Amino acid sequence: MIFASDILKARILIVDDQAANITLLEQMLAGAGYVSVSSTRNPSEVSALHRRHHYDLILLDLLMPGMDGFQVMEGLKEIETGGYLPVLVVTAQPEQKLHALKAGAKDFVSKPFDLAEVLARVHNMIEVRLLHLEAKRLYDQVIAERKRSEQLLLNVLPASVAQSLQGHADITADSFPKIVAESFPEVTVLFADIVGFTKFSEGLSAGVLVGLLNDIFSRFDGIADHRGVEKIKTSGHSYMAAAGLHVPVADHAVRAANMALDLLEVMDRFNQQSLYKLQLRIGLNSGTIVAGVVGQRKFLYDLWGEVVNTASYMESNGLPGRIQVTDATRQRLGEPFVFEARGAIDGNGRGQMNTWFLTGRNG
C-alpha cells in the first residue's frame, strides 16, 4: 500500500536549463509538501545523478542546448533496464508531447505551468512509480520464496520427483495430483545405524543430542553426494540411502559399497575429533524395489519391498563396526572389494541366508 507520506518523500529531480523554471517548480512542489526535490541545469549530469540517487520522478525539459530531453531519456534507458522511465517531460510545444511519450516518457506538463496540473501529474506519476517498485519488490519476493520452496523440496525428495511435483499447479497442502510411485529393477539399499545410541544419549541434553546427530548425518550426506547415492531418510539414529534410483546405473552396488566403507572411516574420524567411541552397523542388499511419496502432509519419500526389508535385516543382525551384505550384493561387486565370509544366518522367515562382511577395497 502506498501512503500519502510515501509520495511526499519521493525523490524528485528537476532538469531545466532555465533557472526561473526550476525555481518556480521547486516552489510549487515545496508548497505541496514534497521534501526531497533537487535540480540541475546540466542535462549531461542526469544519468549519473539518477544512477546515484535513483529518483522516483524526473521532471525533464525537452528543449535544452547541448543535449535535449530525448537524448537524456536514451541515457536513462541504460539505467532503467526494466523499461520503466520515471520521466515527466516539460514542454511548450504541443507536437513534442506524443513524440516524448513514444520515446519513453510516462506523462507531460505544459508550459506555461498550471499549478493544479503540475501537482496532479506529479502526484499521479509518483504514485504509479512507487506502485511499480512495490510490485517489483513483491514479484522478487515471490520468486525468492519459490526458489526456497524448490530447494526445500529438493532436500526432501529426489530431483526427478521434486521436478514432477513442481510441474503440477493443482498441488495443495492437502493433496497430491496423483500417486507418485515407481519400480526400479536394479538398486542397492544401504542402512546404517549408530550402535547403542539410545543408551549413549541418555545423559545428553536435547541440544547436544541433536547437534551430534546433525554433525554425523551431515557428514554422511556429503559422502552420499560424493558417491552418487541418494539419501532417503534418517529415523532416530539410523540412516537410509540407495544407489540406482531414477537414473539407472550399472555400478549401483559399487557406489553403495564405497559409501559404506566411507561411513566407517568418517565415523572413526568423528570419534577421534569428539573423543566418543561410537560404532556403526551397516547392511546392504541389491535388487528390485518400489519407491514413492506417501502422505498428504509432511509427506515422505520412501522405499518398499523385500530387498529393502532384507537390507534392513542385514544391518540389524550385523555386527558393530562391520558391513554385512547379501549374496545378491556380493555378486554385483566382484574383485574390487575384499570380503570375509560370515556364513549362513537365520533369515527370520527367509530361511538360511548366506552373508558376507565387506572389509575393504583391493589395491
Model pLDDT for residues 247-258, shown as the tens digit of each residue: 889 999 999 999
**Lowest-confidence region among 80-89, 236-245, 302-311, 317-326:** 80-89
User: 243 and 187, same structural domain?
Assistant: yes
**Percent of the chain residues past pLDDT 90, beyond the cut:** 70
Domain count along the chain: 2
Residue 361 one-letter amino acid = R
Of 191, 183, 194, give the one whose Cα is nearest residue 310.
191
Q: Which of 122, 139, 156 is the last residue of a domain?
A: 139
Q: Which of 53, 44, 40 is nearest to 86 (CA)?
A: 53
Could you tell me if 268 and 328 lie in one domain? yes
Q: What is the mean pLDDT of the chain?
A: 90
Query: Given this model, what pLDDT does residue 133 score?
Result: 85
In a domain, 269, yes or no: yes
Both 269 and 317 in one domain: the answer is yes
pLDDT band at 5 (very low <50, low <70, confident <90, very high): very high
Residue 245 falls inside a structural domain: yes
In a domain, 152, yes or no: no
> Grid coordinates standing for 233?
531418510
The stretch 231-256 carries a mean pLDDT of 94
Nearest one of 262, 305, 294, 258 to 280, comparing CA atoms = 262
Based on the fold, state whether residues 93 and 187 are members of the same structural domain: no
Same domain, 200 and 323: yes
Question: Containing domain of residue 8, as a range?
Answer: 4-139
pTM of the model: 0.61
- 192 & 285 share domain: yes
User: What CATH number did the domain enclosing 48 receive?
Assistant: 3.40.50.2300
pLDDT at 163 over 70: no
The answer to whether position 82 is within a domain reads yes
In this structure, the answer to whether residues 347 and 225 fall within a common structural domain is yes
Query: Would you say 107 and 121 are in contact if contact means Cβ atoms under 8 Å apart?
Result: yes
